[in-house]
Amino acid sequence: MKRRNFIKGSSAVAMTIALGIPWKLFSQNKKLNIIVLLSDDQRFDTISALGNKDIITPNLDFLVKNGTTFTQAHVMGGLSGAICQPSRAMILTGRTLFDIDRQARDNQEFSFDVFNNNITFPELLKNNGYVTVGIGKQHNGSQVYSRAFTDGAKIFFGGMSDQYKIPHQDFAGDGKYPSERMYFSEGKHSAEIYADETIRFISKYKSQPFLIYTAFQSPHDPRTFPEEYLKLYDEKKLKLQPNFLPQHPFDNGELKVRDELLAGFPRTEEEVRKHLRDYYAIITHLDHQVGRIIKSIKDNGLEENTLLIFAGDNGLAVGQHGLFGKQNLYEHSNRVPLIFWGGGVPRNQQVNGLCYLSDIFPTLASQAEIALPASVQGVSLIKAFKDSKALLRPSLYFVYKHYQRGVKKDGFKLIEYHVKGERNTQLFDLINDPWEMNNLADNPSFQTTKTDLKKELLALKAKYNDNFSTFWNGYE
């Protein structure tokens, strides 16, 4: 399959969709259907229409060109290596990292008793007349799932698995999901299975307001997918990101965590290109499933009354800064795709305001004219649909375990490290140095900026209740 023919074939159906109604913030005569598609380990720069010309994503390109994209969407981070678990918890509850129920273990590692007392956005919609459907990777426990969803299929409560052998369960009306009810789907890729179920439920519930929350496992490793997608990419022609390094310049606390062991040390350009090829290919395969879902929305006559949201749960380094995982605070790991399409959303609009994925919850509640629960801490993005230059958040706070803290404000990012008693500081001018290659922390011309960002970091520490980590011991 040639790249050009693939793009034409994959995007032809999607590009026939037309949305002619205005974005009606609080005056919908009929409740919008909502479909949330969540990818796994997909960083922000893996969509062709947003500037990456090496990757093939005709259907995500369609969403960008016909919807509103938040180009500065982020995840806050995590207190364990599995960033996707707290990320999904924050998406579902609209809460911040340190206000999800948690327990410190030996003051080093952290485990989650995930948001048992906080309402999730599917639960809120369910209580307000929506059928709520949960499909795919949940990763936050069966109790939360049972409260949130009225229907579902192919429910995977684990963290990762063979893409062609999913350990999953059917929807249980009694709300119980014991291990003996788990079985395996074999012979078809997980992304195809989850898309099949999404399409089935679109047709099943097209006559009533519905929420479908579909959480894919792609592009998380193991990166297996149909061979035809691999043939679309020539690894020798793929451009490495400018910030490729054979190794990270200092110990960030997690240089040997599981994700980092997926490639050898030091990193080589040849090996990184192979990983990048597979990463792009599985995203193209996922993109095809997104196109199938878009087609189903149109085929069922729902394009004017359905809001589709596509987002990634966290990013991934794949060779940048000498890293492979998401256990860091660089842009490649905490900045993610976030696209709204349908239901009258403005077309071909890009919003550069800072936001978190936890802001999806209050945005949906605002759009649905449902009172926001007091537990929700996110910020509604509604005003950005009216004004793409609207200020959403003045700054963002980032966390990784007790090793790293960061802040992003006014085009700069400060990252502080505390590893084995040693501290390192990085300061990046993201406007002029988007790849975070030139550390300005010791540059005399930027000491005022550094000081201001350190003050902001401490202010956000207090705001977000980050008060029990060894990171702060002796911090000045």
Helix (H, G, I), strand (E, B) or coil at 38: strand
Q: Which residue has the higher pLDDT, 469 or 24?
A: 469
Q: Give residue 22's pLDDT.
A: 40
Query: pLDDT band at residue 19, thresholds of 50, 70 and 90?
Result: very low
Given a cut of 60, is residue 260 above it in pLDDT?
yes
Given a cut of 80, is residue 87 above it in pLDDT?
yes
Given a cut of 50, is residue 46 above it in pLDDT?
yes
How far apart CA 244 and CA 346 sit, in angstroms, is 36
What is the DSSP pairing of strand 165-168 with strand 151-156?
A: unpaired
Homologous superfamily (CATH) of 3-16+31-393 is: Alkaline Phosphatase, subunit A (3.40.720.10)
List the chain domain ranges: 3-16+31-393, 402-476
pTM, to two decimals: 0.94
Given a cut of 90, is residue 404 above it in pLDDT?
yes
Lowest pLDDT segment from 82-91, 245-254, 451-460, 467-476: 467-476
How far apart CA 197 and CA 3 sit, in angstroms, is 28
Q: Which CATH fold would you assign to the domain 402-476?
A: Arylsulfatase, C-terminal domain (3.30.1120)
Query: pLDDT band at residue 5, thresholds of 50, 70 and 90?
Result: low
- Angle of the 58-66 helix axis to the 269-299 helix axis, nearest 10: 60
The per-residue pLDDT of the chain, averaged, comes to: 91
Q: In this structure, which amino acid lies at residue 341?
A: W
Lowest pLDDT segment from 15-19, 183-187, 309-313, 388-392: 15-19
**Distance set, CA 381 to CA 94, 165, 288, 390 (Å):** 12, 38, 28, 9
How far apart CA 72 and CA 361 sit, in angstroms, is 17
Q: In this structure, which amino acid lies at residue 268?
A: T
Lowest pLDDT segment from 41-45, 83-87, 381-385: 83-87
Share of the chain above pLDDT 70, in %: 91
Q: Give residue 189's pLDDT.
A: 97
How far apart CA 337 and CA 351 sit, in angstroms, is 12
In this predicted model, what pLDDT tens digit does every residue of 406-427 receive, in sequence order? 999 999 999 999 999 999 999 9
Give mean pLDDT, residues 226-234. Answer: 97
Q: Do 155 and 145 touch, CB atoms closer than 8 A? A: yes
Q: Which residues contact 79 (CB under 8 A, 6 or more apart)?
A: 86, 97, 102, 109, 110, 112, 399, 401
In this predicted model, what pLDDT tens digit does every residue of 270-285 receive, in sequence order? 999 999 999 999 999 9
Share of the chain above pLDDT 90, in %: 81
Q: Strands of 66-186 (E only): list them.
A: 68-70, 73-74, 77-78, 102-105, 109-112, 131-137, 151-156, 165-168, 183-186
